[in-house]
């Protein structure tokens, strides 16, 4: 039996409709759909969603799918109710980001600026220094992909500590050259 899969998913401000193997979640931020595999079904009772296997004795494969889809549904419920956000910090002299419509322009110490277009479901807030960014989305997976792609533009380097880093990321600093 899946330890994660058997946990109920509670919701407050969302409305959930289950039909067969499909699930539609309406919240204040958006509406999302989720399709379950044929080994699983979903029950909505009061303000709780329960994902349960179709067979009385689920196989190992079914247990893995059970936990996975329960976590995916929980993320979608949380996303449409409150949304996810990730802070990104740009460290370096002259390093900054500027928002132009649905794209970002980065100045990261290269000889050119870098244009980065955002997906429709991801938004960004930039402070006036251009070095503190907060990405927001209803989809946790897409938010992680965007933050990872932005970080890859200029990963933090261990000597000076400059670059783009996620909030809470710890950079292990190295000592420079020893003086003779």
Examine domains 9-81 and 84-166 and report if their fold is the same: yes
- 174 has pLDDT over 80: yes
Closest CA to 54 of 45, 64, 42, 44: 42
Q: What is the pLDDT of residue 130?
A: 93
Say how far apart CA 137 and CA 82 lie, in whole Å: 10
The rounded percent of the chain whose pLDDT value lies above 90 is: 76
pLDDT in tens, 111-135: 999 999 999 999 999 999 999 999 9
pLDDT mean over 38-45: 91
Could you tell me the pTM of the whole model?
Answer: 0.88
Alpha carbon distance 138, 5 (integer Å): 22
Query: What is the residue extent of each domain of the chain?
Result: 9-81, 84-166
Dump pLDDT digits (tens) for 137-170: 999 999 999 999 999 999 999 999 899 999 988 9
CATH of domain 9-81: 3.90.930.12
* Fold classification of 84-166 (topology level): Outer Surface Protein A; domain 3 (3.90.930)
Residue with tokens 């000076």: 160
Q: Which stretches within 40-177 are classed as H helix?
A: 60-81, 140-153
């Amino acid at each position: 039996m899946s330890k994660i899969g058997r946990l109920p998913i509670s919701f407050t401000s969302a409305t959930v409709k289950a039909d067969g193997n499909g699930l539609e979640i309406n919240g204040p931020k958006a509406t999302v759909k989720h399709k379950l595999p044929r080994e699983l079904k979903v029950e909505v009772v009061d303000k709780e969603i329960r994902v349960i296997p179709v067979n009385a004795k689920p196989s190992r494969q079914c247990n893995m799918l059970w936990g996975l889809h329960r976590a995916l549904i929980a993320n979608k419920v949380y996303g449409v109710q409150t949304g996810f956000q990730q802070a990104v910090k740009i460290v370096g002299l002259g390093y900054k980001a500027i928002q132009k419509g649905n794209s970002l322009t980065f100045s990261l110490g290269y000889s050119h600026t870098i244009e980065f277009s955002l997906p429709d479901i991801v938004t960004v807030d930039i402070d006036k220094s251009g070095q503190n960014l907060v990405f927001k989305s209803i989809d946790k997976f897409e938010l992680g992909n965007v933050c990872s792609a932005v970080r890859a533009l200029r990963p933090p380097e261990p000597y000076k500590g400059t670059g783009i880093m996620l909030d809470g990321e710890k950079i292990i600093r190295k000592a420079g050259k020893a003086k003779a």
